[in-house]
Amino acid sequence: MTRKSFGWALICCASTLALSPQAAAQTVVGDISVSCAEDPACVNRMHPEIPMIAEAELGEPITFITRDAFDLKLDPDVSSIAKAKPREGIGVAHALTGPVHIRGAKAGDVLAVTIEALKPAEVGWTDVTDFGFAGDQFATEERFIVWRLNEDYAESDALPGVRIPYASFPGVVTTLPDEKLQAEILERENQLMAAGGSVLPPDPTEAKPAELCGPEGSKPMECLRTAPPRENGGNMDIRYLTTGTTLYLPCLIDGCGLTVGDFHYAQGDGEVSGTAIEMGGELTVTTRLVDNPPDLSRGPHLEGPATALGIPSTRFYAVTGFPLKEEGTVPANLAYLDSPKIAGLRNMSGDIHLAARNALAAMIDYIMSEYGYDRPQAYMIASVAVDMRIAQLVDVPNLGVTAVLPLDIFVEGD
């Protein structure tokens, strides 16, 4: 995808365009003709002092032109599959576009962000690494594949017989944290890391903006990584946040600092391999302030049409999982607790992570046996198409997770 394909010329990284005498102005942010490192509107860290690159009025359309999360340049006609992602390191992720100052929005407000449209790029990708959910169990080998995208479906030469319907959404929508939240996040994540928990701590490698977050920046060890979502939004990866839905975010600093990225062409609930069909694209949103706002202290809220909750298929196959394990084993996510009790148990009480592992294992086995794909292929299919859903949380000790596979994605022989 080129800038020309978007139908307008960009001046630097942000501009305000008059669409017609009757239409409202529109703010356009981002320049994908250059790399994230060269684009002033590309950031990959969170901090209250990140400068805002553009301004927009409440109610005014804002179009974010965004590269994929890792800023990759891919051609499916040249290569559809590789042993690993054609890029070393993860410092650039996520390559986001923003922040945008929302005029009239003040610290303490709640900002409603409505997804008006998302135009996909022409190329996407998915990979398997040990970063994915239960990667120690399912990422038996690394794999990277490239997809051809249009506004109807995605196909990859590396997954013959699979066609994924278009169901795009932004993985990351966020406002900037204030100093108080920034300090709280650093404190609690450092505490968890010291206890052996899984954390991505601040890292100045490839950080943007470099003058604040990079190796020579003023606060390199205070800038937050964008992998986990937090109270101000971020990498929530909610596939229901599609066109027509509205996300409610806390405005923690004046102007909010609205930032987006990590667009997904399609994703199953859970994004289990660690990636969906990753892509760049063009996202248009509008904003407003919320009267009598909801309490967002536990995390953002969203609302939209119920059709966004469905699966893109007329038929499905589902498997279930419960928190059961072999005696003598310790699930990888609990190893850091160093509990002497866990290994001796065969049944964990109310462990949703273990139940999800077991449901995913059953689904991967089903895809392999029923359709003939190998394990990495089945893992990627699960990541982009299978919904990991909570069945019930009350039937202790065995709460349940259901993995739902839309069968219409398999098209070979049609």
The percentage of residues in the chain with a pLDDT greater than 90, rounded to a whole number, is 88
- pLDDT given at position 71: 96
From CA 227, how far away is CA 123, in angstroms rounded? Answer: 22
Assign residue 54 a region: left if phi > 0, alpha if psi is -120 to 50, beta otherwise?
beta
From CA 80, how far away is CA 183, in angstroms rounded? Answer: 43
Using alpha carbons, list the distances in angstroms from residue 322 to 195, 202, 325, 367, 382.
27, 35, 9, 19, 18
Q: Domain map of the chain by residue range? A: 3-309, 316-409
- pLDDT given at position 24: 54
Contact predicate 97/34, CB 8 Å: no
- pLDDT given at position 200: 93
- pLDDT given at position 413: 56
> What is the CATH architecture assignment of 3-309?
Sandwich (2.60)
Structural Rg of the chain based on CA atoms? 21
pLDDT digit string, tens, across residues 201-249: 999 999 999 999 999 999 999 999 999 999 999 999 999 999 999 999 9
Would you call 343 helix, strand, or coil by DSSP? coil
From CA 385, how far away is CA 367, in angstroms rounded? Answer: 12
Query: What are the phi and psi torsion angles at 238 (to 5°)?
Result: -95, 110
**pTM surpassing 0.85?**
yes
Would you call 191 helix, strand, or coil by DSSP? helix
Q: Could you say which residues of the chain have pLDDT below 70?
A: 1-24, 89, 413-414
Q: Could you tell me which CATH class the domain 316-409 is placed in?
A: alpha beta
Contact predicate 259/90, CB 8 Å: no
From CA 120, how far away is CA 132, in angstroms rounded? Answer: 24
Would you call 359 helix, strand, or coil by DSSP? helix
The two structure tokens encoding residue 306: 């119920």
- pLDDT given at position 27: 96
Would you call 386 helix, strand, or coil by DSSP? coil
Using alpha carbons, list the distances in angstroms from residue 374 to 118, 246, 303, 357.
33, 38, 38, 18
- pLDDT given at position 379: 97
Site of tokens 């699960």? 382
